[in-house]
Chain A
Amino acid sequence: MHTVAFILRRLLGAIPTLALVVALSFLLTRLAPGGPFDEEQALAPEIRANLEAAYGLDQPIYVQFGRYVQGLLRGDFGPSFKFRDFTVGELISGGLPVSLTIGLAAMLLALALGIPAGVWAARARGGAADRIVMALAVAGISIPVFVVAPVLVLVFGIWLGWLPVAGWVPGRPADLVLPVVSLALPVVAYVARLMRGSLLEVLRAPWIRAARARGLPERTVILRHALPAALLPVVSYVGPAAAAVLAGSLVVETLFGLPGMGRHLVQGALNRDYTLVMGMVIVYAALMIVLNLLADLAYAWLDPRIRRERRL
Chain B
Amino acid sequence: MSGALWREAAAQLRHDRLALACAALLAAMALAAIAGPPLLPFRADEIDWAHMAVPPLEAAGHWLGTDRLGRDLLVRTLHGLRVSLAIAFAATLVALVIGVAWGALAGFRRGRTDAWMMRCVDVLYSLPQVFFVIILTVVFGRGPLTILVAIGAFGWLTMARIVRGQALALRECDFVEAAVVGGASTPRIVWRHIVPNLMGPVIVYATLTLPQVILVEGFLSFLGIGIQEPLASLGNLIADGAAEMETAPWMLVVPAACLMLLVFCFNFLGDSLRDALDPRDQ
CB-CB under 8 A for A247 and B130, given A150-B241, A154-B245, A277-B138:
yes
Within 8 A of B (CB), among A70-95: none
Chain B residues in 8 Å Cβ range of A288 = 128
Confirm or deny: A177 has a beta carbon within 8 angstroms of a beta carbon on chain B: no
Determine the distance from Cα of A180 to Cα of B128 in the docked complex, in whole angstroms: 22
| A141, A150, A243, A247: the one within 8 Å of B256 (CB) | A150
How far, in Å, is B65 (CB) from chain A's closest CB?
Answer: 15
Chain B residues in 8 Å Cβ range of A278 = 135
Q: What total of chain B residues lie within 8 Å of the partner, measured CB to CB?
A: 41
Confirm or deny: A167 has a beta carbon within 8 angstroms of a beta carbon on chain B: no
A269 near B127 (CB under 8 angstroms)? Answer: no
B249 near A20 (CB under 8 angstroms)? Answer: no
A154 near B224 (CB under 8 angstroms)? Answer: no
Within 8 A of B (CB), among A23-48: 24-25, 28-29, 31-34
Would you give the 0/1 interface string for B135-156, flagging 1 where the beta carbon is closer than 8 Å to chain A?
Answer: 1111111000000000000000
How far, in Å, is A190 (CB) from chain B's closest CB?
Answer: 12
Confirm or deny: A174 has a beta carbon within 8 angstroms of a beta carbon on chain B: no
Within 8 A of A (CB), among B219-236: 219, 222-225, 235
Confirm or deny: B126 has a beta carbon within 8 angstroms of a beta carbon on chain A: yes
What is the size category of the interface that chain A forms with chain B? 35 or more
| A150, A250, A265, A281: the one within 8 Å of B132 (CB) | A281
B264 near A142 (CB under 8 angstroms)? Answer: yes
Determine the distance from Cα of A144 to Cα of B128 in the docked complex, in whole angstroms: 18
Determine the distance from Cα of A143 to Cα of B219 in the docked complex, in whole angstroms: 12
How far, in Å, is B211 (CB) from chain A's closest CB?
Answer: 7
Chain A residues in 8 Å Cβ range of B222 = 146, 251
How far, in Å, is A263 (CB) from chain B's closest CB?
Answer: 10
Determine the distance from Cα of A29 to Cα of B132 in the docked complex, in whole angstroms: 11
25 sample A-B contacts, Cβ–Cβ < 8 Å, listed by A number: A28-B136, A29-B135, A32-B138, A32-B139, A34-B141, A142-B211, A142-B267, A144-B215, A144-B259, A146-B235, A149-B242, A150-B242, A151-B256, A153-B242, A154-B249, A154-B253, A158-B246, A247-B130, A255-B242, A265-B134, A266-B224, A277-B138, A280-B131, A281-B128, A284-B131
How far, in Å, is B73 (CB) from chain A's closest CB?
Answer: 16
Within 8 A of B (CB), among A91-118: none
A25 near B245 (CB under 8 angstroms)? Answer: no
A146 near B219 (CB under 8 angstroms)? Answer: yes
Would you give the 0/1 interface string for A262-288, flagging 1 where the beta carbon is closer than 8 Å to chain B?
Answer: 000110111010100110110011001
Q: Closest chain B residue to A159 by CB distance?
A: B249
Q: Closest chain A residue to B219 by CB distance?
A: A146
Chain A residues in 8 Å Cβ range of B134 = 265, 269, 277, 281
Confirm or deny: A17 has a beta carbon within 8 angstroms of a beta carbon on chain B: yes
Chain A residues in 8 Å Cβ range of B131 = 247, 265, 280-281, 284-285
Confirm or deny: A124 has a beta carbon within 8 angstroms of a beta carbon on chain B: no
How far, in Å, is B263 (CB) from chain A's closest CB?
Answer: 4
Determine the distance from Cα of A292 to Cα of B252 in the docked complex, in whole angstroms: 35
CB-CB under 8 A for A141 and B259, given A146-B218, A146-B219:
no
B267 near A247 (CB under 8 angstroms)? Answer: no
Chain A residues in 8 Å Cβ range of B137 = 269
Q: Closest chain B residue to A149 by CB distance?
A: B242
Would you give the 0/1 interface string for A151-164, flagging 1 where the beta carbon is closer than 8 Å to chain B?
Answer: 10110001000000
| B135, B139, B223, B246: the one within 8 Å of A266 (CB) | B223
Q: Closest chain B residue to A146 by CB distance?
A: B222
Confirm or deny: A254 has a beta carbon within 8 angstroms of a beta carbon on chain B: yes
Q: Closest chain B residue to A151 by CB distance?
A: B256
Confirm or deny: A7 has a beta carbon within 8 angstroms of a beta carbon on chain B: no
Q: Closest chain A residue to B263 by CB distance?
A: A142
Chain B residues in 8 Å Cβ range of A146 = 218-219, 222, 235, 238-239
How far, in Å, is B128 (CB) from chain A's closest CB?
Answer: 5
Determine the distance from Cα of A142 to Cα of B241 in the docked complex, in whole angstroms: 19
B135 near A285 (CB under 8 angstroms)? Answer: no
